[in-house]
Chains A and B, each alone.
Chain A
């Protein structure tokens, strides 16, 4: 079987397109690369969507944590504490058990004049439930980063905004928020990298891989269990993740340059690796 044929058969196997059965014997390098690469689709799916949704929630929580009103501040502090203080692995297990216990038919929400049935079955599947956990988790970690950045917005910037007669929302949107993003961005880049790394935990933490549709690490362990040789599958997945990390650094570096474009080039903050935020 040629390699092109393998790619046609297994390239989209992780999302259920192509051959039904996974290769079992006489595993070739090409099969390793194709299936593990196909699993990477899920890692990118989880990472990108959780990051995109989590960004908005994180901004809201960061602002809530900096608020003077304890009704806003306390819930934000607790949310951040619970998700940052406990292992993601346990969060996955807990969420899975919770979602399984939800009624299969859905929850009825009475609205008086009519009743809406909220479908809950998608939450016990990995693509939904794990995404919710990752979304909340990254929101908590990013909120802490954004909160730190919000606290270090220079006083002069805010005074300048006041001098221009800005207040409230327009001051936040036009002065505080852009500076907060600029200060938070290097740490946020690290958060994004580690979020993508954390997506490898999904299929090891309760959420089942339906019809052997799993992520990159799921297939890597499949191969290593089949051949009993860890020295092929794991280096391949490592190479894929190094590539993915470089792509993330490239994309976030582009945004970073844009956020810093008004500054002279010698004071711009560069994206640097700091292992602040693993799970």
Chain B
């Protein structure tokens, strides 16, 4: 990156470290932090949307919807999330390919399950084998993000369902007394009031989501864990920057990175919570009122 980095053998000490930390691969490591942020930016809103739909389905008066909602909200209670992270991307991938297969090659004679293999016709492959490398990588990333959204949507559905139950019954009764239809009272009364009750659970979920991001590594995405393992491993003198096994330091760096991120979000969430409980008939709101704020 810098001019004096041209010959790594000639430099020492701090400038060596500076050059070492700005090699192309290290820039990829810093770029992988962007991957984590991107995952959070995609997974958090879509998990919230999934959770909201799940909670609404679980409250629905239409029996199949209610069953679906109940199963969706309770599936994460008994089964480890790691299992879903491994299962959902493969299942979705095969599901997509199978649908495309049925659609694109209707006269394909053989079954898709052949012994130990899952075979679809070439046109149905996702992504197409002729597509460039970045398409393959971003497809893998999208599947991973979808898996995160599904799993964390189930957690969020639990929280939102509980929050909807926590809104005082009298509020809904008042809405009914004003002649609002169920749909109106849901949109005007229940949903706006629900957020205060949902916030502690949702902020907790945000922390969990942050701490789940290294699991991207399990899904084959080149994230920070991948690069930390790759760069930290023993480099013999065949490399430009030879060093012993430094994986310990790389993982220590990741640990500190996550500690800083969780600490920062804790502060932000505490402020949001204080803001939302202003004027609310809850314990925190009452405390704020007494303190004269």
Interface band, chain A: 35 or more
- Residues A275 and B159 in contact, CB atoms below 8 Å apart: yes
Query: B91 contacts A230, CB within 8 Å?
Result: yes
Of the candidate stretches A3-11, A78-86, A263-271, the one touching chain B is A78-86
Q: How far is the CB of B267 from chain A (nearest CB, A)?
A: 12
**Residues of chain A in range 13-64 having any CB-CB distance to chain B below 8 Å:** 25
**Neighbour of A273 across the interface among B116, B158, B212, B252, CB < 8 A:** B158
Cβ of A113 within 8 Å of any chain B Cβ, yes or no, is no
In the bound complex, do residue B211 and residue A88 qualify as a contact, i.e. CB atoms below 8 Å apart? yes
Q: Any chain A CB within 8 A of the CB of B155?
A: yes
Apart from A89-B217, A89-B225, A241-B83, 9 more pairs, CB < 8 Å:
A86-B211, A88-B211, A93-B251, A198-B80, A201-B82, A229-B118, A231-B91, A245-B77, A275-B208
**In the assembled complex, B86 has its CB within 8 A of some CB on chain A:** yes
Using Cβ atoms and an 8 Å threshold, which residues of chain A touch B79? 197, 238, 241-242
Determine if A75 is an interface residue (Cβ-Cβ < 8 Å): no
How big is chain B's contact interface, by range?
A: 35 or more
Binds A, one of B5-13, B38-46, B126-134, B253-261: B253-261
- Residues of chain A lying within 8 A (CB to CB) of residue B208: 275, 278-279
Which residues of the other chain, B, contact A121 by a CB distance below 8 angstroms? none
Say if the beta carbon of A160 comes within 8 Å of chain B: no
Binding site for B on A (CB under 8 A): 25, 81-82, 85-91, 93-94, 97-98, 101, 193, 196-198, 200-201, 204, 217, 220-221, 224, 226-231, 234, 237-238, 241-242, 245-246, 273-276, 278-279
Question: Contact: A97 with B259, CB < 8 Å?
Answer: no
Cross-interface CB contact of A98 among B90, B91, B159, B248, cutoff 8 Å: B248
Which of B211, B225, B245 is the most central at the interface, judged by chain A CB atoms within 10 Å of its CB? Answer: B211
Known: A201-B82, A204-B82. A276 touches B204 (CB 8 A): yes
Cβ contacts A to B, 18 pairs, < 8 Å: A25-B116, A86-B255, A86-B258, A86-B259, A89-B214, A90-B255, A197-B80, A197-B82, A204-B82, A217-B83, A224-B86, A226-B116, A229-B118, A238-B79, A273-B158, A274-B201, A275-B201, A278-B212
Query: Hey, which chain B residues are within 8 Å of A98, CB to CB?
Result: 248
Contacts of B215 in A (CB 8 A): 89
Name the distance in Å between A229's Cβ and chain B's nearest Cβ. Answer: 7
Whether a CB of chain A sits under 8 angstroms from the CB of B1 is no
The answer to whether the Cβ of B205 comes within 8 Å of any Cβ in the partner chain is yes
